[in-house]
C-alpha cells in the first residue's frame, strides 16, 4: 500500500459527487430561507445549513492510495468514511495542461448544482422597492455562474475569464451601490450601514475569488477506467506528473 502525497480525490463521481452538490444547494437554500423567512422557518434553514456542512465534510477528498492493481480514493474529514476503488485504468491525463480539457465532458452531473444555485434565487425575488434584498440575491447567482463556467471552460480560458469577470463584477457592484444610494438615501446618511454593506460585499466577492483562484492553481488529473471517469487534484504540476508516472507504471493497461 502506497499513500500518494499532495494528491487528493475530487468529489466528481458517485456518492461524494451527490453529497458535494447537495451541500452547495443546501447552503443557498438555508441562506434564502433564513433571510426571507422572517423567523418562521429558521429551524428548517439552520437544519439545511448544518446538514450542508456535514455533507461537505463527508465528500471532502481525504487521501489517495495505491494497492497493487487498485487505486483507492478516500473521502471524509477528519476521518475517511467513503472509499471508491478504481481498477483497470486505461488512461490518465492532466486536464489543467490540456487546451481542450473541460471537466463537464466527463462529469456532466457537476453542472446541476451551479444551475440550481443560479435559479433558486428567482423564487425569492423581492419587490423592486427592496433593492438591498435584490443585491443579496446576486451573491448565489455570481457563485453559481462562476462554478458553472469553471466546469465548462478549459483551465486557461477560465483564468482569462476570471480576470475579466473581476473587473466587470466590481463595476457592476459600483453601479448597484449608486442605485441603492439614490433609492435609499438613508443608507448613505448612516455611515455604519454603508460601511457594513460595502465591507460585507467586498469580503464575499474577494473570498470567493480567492477560493476559485486557489482551485485553478491545482492540477486536475482525469483517470479513465473500465468503470468510468474519476478525478484527483494535485498540489502542483510536479506532483501531478509524479502521480501520473506512478499510476502509469502500476495500473494502466495498454491495449495492443
Rounded Cα distance between 4 and 66, Å, is 7
Region 86-106 average pLDDT: 80
Whether 208 contacts 231, CB under 8 Å: no
Whether 117 contacts 147, CB under 8 Å: yes
Rounded Cα distance between 61 and 108, Å, is 19
Task: With a cut of 80, say whether residue 194 has pLDDT above it.
Answer: no
Name 233's Cβ contacts closer than 8 Å, sequence gap at least 6: 7, 8, 9, 10, 61, 218, 219, 220, 221
Which pLDDT tens digit goes with each residue over 116-152? 888 887 776 655 445 556 666 777 787 788 788 888 8
**Angle separating helix axes 131-152 and 155-183, nearest 10 degrees:** 170
Answering whether pTM is above 0.75, one says no
Rounded Cα distance between 120 and 28, Å, is 8
pLDDT at 128: 47
> What is the residue-averaged pLDDT of the chain?
77
Region 187-194 average pLDDT: 54
Whether 71 contacts 86, CB under 8 Å: yes
* E strand residue ranges, 55-136: 61-67, 70-75, 82-87, 89-94
Task: With a cut of 90, say whether residue 76 has pLDDT above it.
Answer: yes
Q: Pull the grid cell for residue 106.
A: 466527463
Torsion angle of the four alpha carbons 38, 44, 49, 54, in this order, in degrees rounded to the nearest 10:
170
Q: Pull the grid cell for residue 22.
A: 447537495
Task: With a cut of 50, say whether residue 254 has pLDDT above it.
Answer: no
Task: With a cut of 60, say whether residue 30 has pLDDT above it.
Answer: yes
Amino acid at each position: 500500500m502506497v499513500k500518494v502525497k499532495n494528491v487528493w480525490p475530487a468529489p466528481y463521481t458517485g456518492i461524494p459527487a451527490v453529497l458535494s452538490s447537495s451541500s452547495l444547494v443546501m447552503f443557498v437554500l438555508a441562506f434564502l430561507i433564513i433571510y426571507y423567512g422572517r423567523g418562521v422557518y429558521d429551524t428548517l434553514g439552520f437544519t439545511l445549513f448544518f446538514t450542508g456542512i456535514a455533507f461537505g465534510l463527508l465528500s471532502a477528498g481525504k487521501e489517495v492510495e495505491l494497492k497493487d492493481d487498485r487505486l483507492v480514493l478516500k473521502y471524509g474529514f477528519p476521518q475517511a468514511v467513503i472509499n471508491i476503488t478504481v481498477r483497470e485504468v486505461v488512461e490518465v491525463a492532466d486536464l489543467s495542461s490540456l487546451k481542450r480539457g473541460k471537466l463537464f465532458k466527463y462529469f456532466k452531473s457537476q453542472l446541476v448544482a451551479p444551475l440550481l444555485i443560479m435559479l433558486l434565487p428567482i423564487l425569492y425575488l423581492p419587490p423592486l422597492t427592496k433593492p438591498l434584498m435584490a443585491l443579496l440575491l446576486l451573491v448565489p447567482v455570481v457563485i453559481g455562474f462562476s462554478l458553472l463556467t469553471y466546469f465548462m471552460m478549459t483551465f486557461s480560458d477560465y483564468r482569462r475569464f476570471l480576470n475579466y469577470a473581476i473587473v466587470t463584477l466590481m463595476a457592476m457592484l459600483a453601479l448597484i451601490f449608486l442605485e441603492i444610494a439614490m433609492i435609499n438615501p438613508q443608507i448613505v446618511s448612516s455611515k455604519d450601514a454603508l460601511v457594513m454593506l460595502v465591507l460585507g460585499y467586498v469580503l464575499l466577492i474577494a473570498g470567493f475569488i480567492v477560493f476559485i483562484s486557489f482551485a485553478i492553481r491545482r492540477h486536475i488529473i482525469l483517470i479513465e477506467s473500465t468503470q468510468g471517469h474519476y478525478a484527483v487534484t494535485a498540489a502542483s504540476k510536479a506532483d501531478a506528473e509524479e502521480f501520473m508516472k506512478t499510476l502509469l507504471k502500476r495500473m494502466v493497461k495498454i491495449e495492443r
